[in-house]
């Protein structure tokens, strides 16, 4: 199964976690970085295009700043990332050079990828770098972001990068051998699961709950990343990154770590961007009739189906669509701002012009700008 799936893989995103890149003292582990870079070189020579999403900036900067503990405040984390990022890039450069490869630094923020223009710019840059045979090394631009506008973690960033770069596979190198039936540090009889066909609630539960901040060794964010990549038709393989030869083994289709199959229906790239990259800035509650029409009949959202509007958003913003139960079932780009939408609650499309004095169209969210979750 793995070999067949890997046959069509040409462009891959390799996400490398801080725990893989650093030793217990928090310094960059040049032996491991060297190993991984040698494997990247082998992949390049086989004609694969490799994009790295690398953590480790904050960890590497901590020592440089003389901090004994993990930095806690945001400015301290940012200072650590700023100095650590240069050390990280130096480490990649030094380790790729013997293989005649070069690293390029790409720092992104969530706002960058939230703008369609910048998203497409990032894609063009990555394409150009890969065309020159260079290895892009991506990290979050930690200096300029705070918690509310962060990607949150590099697992999430790596899943988004599979969409930006139109990659075919996400390989997550982490400090555990793969996905287990339970946290192996607490449950010694937990089993490694080699294949996850679908990311169900049970899988999320075993990972410590989707999006929970206390995942099993960060497993929840990895499952969320595999899910996002999967929605785009991209498979994820998760393996233990410190193991020598693991990248090659994974790419040759050996049964290492855990393979997450993509979900059947790949969203198109733009819809994936709407569903997963944009941060929703408001919520529209719709009645059951509208929910049914959106979920089952492929319709657009009309003002008549709106029950209430929450939060403030501009025209063009991404909003959550929820039913009476408050459960989000879709996301989309609103053609009307929150203020306008409130004025249009329950009205007919033919009344929009009269109510607002202008008219952007008959629907609040057009089907083409809507993604069912």
- Token digits for 184? 């192996």
By CB under 6 A, tell whether 22 contacts ligand GLU: no
- Token digits for 88? 């990280």
Q: Which of 43, 51, 57, 173 contacts ligand GLU by CB under 6 A?
A: 57
- Give the H/E segment covering residue 283: strand 282-286
150 or 269, CB closer to ligand GLU? 150
Nearest 5°: phi and psi at 91? -60, -45
Q: Could you give the dihedral angle defined by the CA atoms of residues 238, 242, 244 and 246, in that order, rounded to the nearest 10 degrees?
A: 0
Question: In this chain, which stretch among 95-103, 136-144, 183-191, 199-207 interacts with ligand GLU, using CB under 6 A?
Answer: 136-144
**Residue 343: burial class (beta carbons within 10 Å; 0-12, 13-18, 19+):** middle
As a whole number of angstroms, the distance between CA 8 and CA 248 comes to: 16
By CB under 6 A, tell whether 232 contacts ligand GLU: no
By CB under 6 A, tell whether 140 contacts ligand GLU: yes
CB atoms < 10 A from the CB of 133, how many? 11
Q: Which of 49, 142, 335, 340 contacts ligand GLU by CB under 6 A?
A: 142
By CB under 6 A, tell whether 110 contacts ligand GLU: no
Number of residues that bind ligand GLU (CB under 6 A): 13
By CB under 6 A, tell whether 56 contacts ligand GLU: yes
Binding to ligand GLU, residues 299-358 (CB under 6 A): none
- Token digits for 132? 């020159």
Kindly state the smallest distance separating residue 155's Cβ from ligand GLU, in Å.
6
11 or 87, CB closer to ligand GLU? 87
By CB under 6 A, tell whether 153 contacts ligand GLU: yes
- Token digits for 168? 């075919």
State the sign of the Cα–Cα–Cα–Cα dihedral 177, 181, 187, 188: negative
Q: Mark 68-87 with x for binding to ligand GLU (rule: CB under 6 A) and - for no binding.
A: -------------x------
Per CB under 6 A, residues contacting ligand GLU are 17-18, 55-59, 81, 139-140, 142, 153-154
């Amino acid at each position: 199964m793995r070999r067949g799936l890997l046959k069509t893989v040409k462009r891959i995103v390799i996400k490398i976690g801080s725990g893989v890149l650093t030793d217990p003292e928090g310094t960059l582990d040049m032996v491991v970085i060297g190993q991984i870079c040698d494997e990247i070189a082998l992949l390049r020579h086989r004609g694969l295009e490799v994009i790295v999403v690398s953590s480790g900036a904050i960890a590497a900067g901590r020592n440089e700043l003389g901090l004994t503990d993990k930095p806690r405040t945001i400015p301290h984390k940012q200072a650590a990332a700023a100095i650590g990022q240069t050390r990280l890039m130096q480490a990649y450069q030094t380790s790729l050079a013997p293989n005649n490869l070069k690293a390029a630094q790409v720092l992104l923020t969530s706002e960058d990828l939230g703008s369609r223009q910048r998203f497409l710019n990032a894609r063009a840059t990555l394409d150009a770098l890969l065309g020159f045979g260079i290895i892009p090394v991506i990290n979050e631009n930690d200096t300029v972001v705070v918690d509310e506008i962060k990607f949150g973690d590099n697992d999430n960033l790596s899943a988004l990068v599979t969409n930006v770069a139109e990659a075919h596979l996400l390989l997550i190198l982490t400090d555990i051998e793969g996905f287990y039936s339970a946290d192996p540090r607490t449950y010694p009889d937990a089993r490694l699961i080699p294949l996850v066909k679908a990311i169900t609630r049970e899988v999320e539960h075993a990972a410590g709950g989707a999006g929970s901040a206390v995942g099993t060794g960060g497993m929840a964010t990895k499952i969320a990343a595999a899910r996002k990549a999967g929605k785009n038709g991209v498979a994820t393989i998760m393996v233990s990154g410190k193991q020598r030869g693991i990248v090659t083994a994974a790419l040759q289709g050996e049964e290492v770590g855990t393979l997450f199959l993509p979900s059947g229906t790949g969203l198109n790239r733009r819809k994936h961007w709407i569903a997963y990259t944009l941060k929703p800035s408001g919520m529209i509650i719709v009645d059951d009739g509208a929910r049914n029409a959106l979920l089952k009949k492929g319709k657009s959202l009309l003002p008549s189906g709106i029950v209430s509007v929450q939060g403030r958003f501009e025209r063009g913003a991404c909003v959550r669509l929820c039913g009476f139960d408050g459960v989000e079932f879709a996301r989309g780009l609103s053609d009307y701002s929150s203020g306008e939408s409130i004025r249009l609650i329950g009205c007919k499309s033919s009344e929009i012009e009269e109510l607002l004095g202008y008219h952007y169209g008959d629907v609040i969210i057009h089907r083409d700008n809507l993604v069912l979750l």
